[in-house]
Structure formats: structure tokens, C-alpha cells
Amino acid sequence: ILNVEQSPQSLHVQEGDSTNFTCSFPSSNFYALHWYRWETAKSPEALFVMTLNGDEKKKGRISATLNTKEGYSYLYIKGSQPEDSATYLCAFESGGYQKVTFGTGTKLQVIP
Amino acid sequence: SQTIHQWPATLVQPVGSPLSLECTVEGTSNPNLYWYRQAAGRGLQLLFYSVGIGQISSEVPQNLSASRPQDRQFILSSKKLLLSDSGFYLCAWSEGLAASTDTQYFGPGTRLTVL
């Protein structure tokens, strides 16, 4: 069983604040790291996929970085807005046969 | 474009009753298909995945089973539900070997309550 951990489990931030959270994953047999956003009453939606050490991806105010050597990825949200409220999931894809393991998620609540 | 459907959206079933959840995908061929469950306060747990018709891999021992009778149809079943089967069930698809990474696309989910 692969250990994919996310921290914090939940957080509340004020509208306009910037925030970040962490995904930790095994540093061996790495293939790709995915980030998903899961809004209440909706399905998880893919945000980013990163495959190379040092990768950085950006979509609007949200960005992510990847360190495969030490086994972590950060997700950053700049100037949080209430619509950013969601659970953010990371998923570690191991080599071999594209086996994906999801973390337990970070639940973000942005307070207006 | 590809779409994924799941039904029913919600279900309340008594303990010991059977279960059948259905998932269909449109707009793609030979997808990988997945069943996940999110129990209350927990993360996404992979239950089954399938890389082709009739090919099912089970990730955890349980009283659930899955079948893939057609290329784009994935069914989750149980003969006798347990209280612990309550949760939110998500079906997902990916392009499998046709893609370089396994980005998954999720259906709307089924909220199952076993009483």
C-alpha cells in the first residue's frame, strides 16, 4: 500500500489570503503526480499533472510545484476567493502500469 | 467530447439487500474504468479497475463485485449490503495506454446509505 499524505487535513483562510498545502508521496518508482479539485456536490476535476522533478504548473491563481527526489508537491493559491473552497486531492502515479493512489485531501474553506 | 454517467444519484437500501450501480462512458473507446468509494471522513479508496471488457482487478477484499459487460459500461454490485458499505461511490475513466499519464475523469457519483 503506497503512502500518499496530504497536509493540512483542512484549513480556513480569509478571502484575499494566499495559501498552500502539501502532498507527500514515495520518492521511488515515481511516474506522475496529479492534483484534483473536488467541490461540494460535484465530481473531482483534474487540475494539473506533473511528471518531471522541478515541474511547475499554473492555472490562473493556482500553481503547483514538484520535487520527486524528496517526494513532495505543493499547491499554492494566490488571493483565495470563496469559489476556491473545495477539497484538493493529490494522486501519485507509480511506474509500471500507471497505478494511481489518491491522498486523503485538504479541505479548503475561504471565508468571505 | 467524452461524458460519463452514473446512476442512481442517491440510494437508500436496507442491510442485506442487493446493490447494482451503473456507470457508462461516451465519446471514447477502450477506456480504463474505475470504481472508488469515499466513506464518511475518509479519502478516495479504489475498489476496482478495469482495462478491458471482462477484465476486473480488485483492490480490497469486500463483499462488492464489479463487471464490465461492454467496453464503456462498468457495474458495481453486491449480493448483500452491509452497513459499512455506506458511502459516496464514484466511477471514473481514463484513456489508459492511449495517454502518457493516467488522468482520471469522474462521474457525478452515487450516495449510498445502508440502513
- Of A77-81, B57-61, B101-105, the poorest mean pLDDT is in B57-61
Dump pLDDT digits (tens) for A42-97.
Answer: 899 999 999 999 999 999 999 999 999 999 999 999 999 999 999 999 999 987 65
pLDDT averaged over every residue in chain B: 92
Radius of gyration for the alpha carbons in chain A, expressed in angstroms and rounded: 13
Query: Are B103 and A51 inside 8 Å of each other by CB?
Result: no
Residues facing B10 on adjacent strands: B111
Q: Mind telling me how many Å the CA of B106 is from chain A's nearest CA?
A: 6
A104 and chain B in contact, CB less than 8 A:
yes
- Among the partner-chain residues A42, A93, A101, the one whose CB lies closest to the CB of B101 is A93
Longest dimension (CA), chain B: 43
Query: Are A100 and B90 inside 8 Å of each other by CB?
Result: no
Residue range B1-30: average pLDDT? Answer: 95
The pLDDT > 70 percentage for chain A reads: 96
Per-residue pLDDT band at A20 (split at 50, 70, 90): very high
Per-residue pLDDT band at B32 (split at 50, 70, 90): very high
pLDDT of B58 reads 87
The three cell numbers of residue A64 are 503547483
Cα separation, B92 vs B105, in Å, equals 5
Residue range B76-100: average pLDDT? Answer: 91
Q: Which residue's C-alpha cell is 487540475?
A: A47
Q: Is A26 exposed, middle or buried (0-12, 13-18, 19+ CB in 10 A)?
A: middle
Per-residue pLDDT band at B2 (split at 50, 70, 90): confident
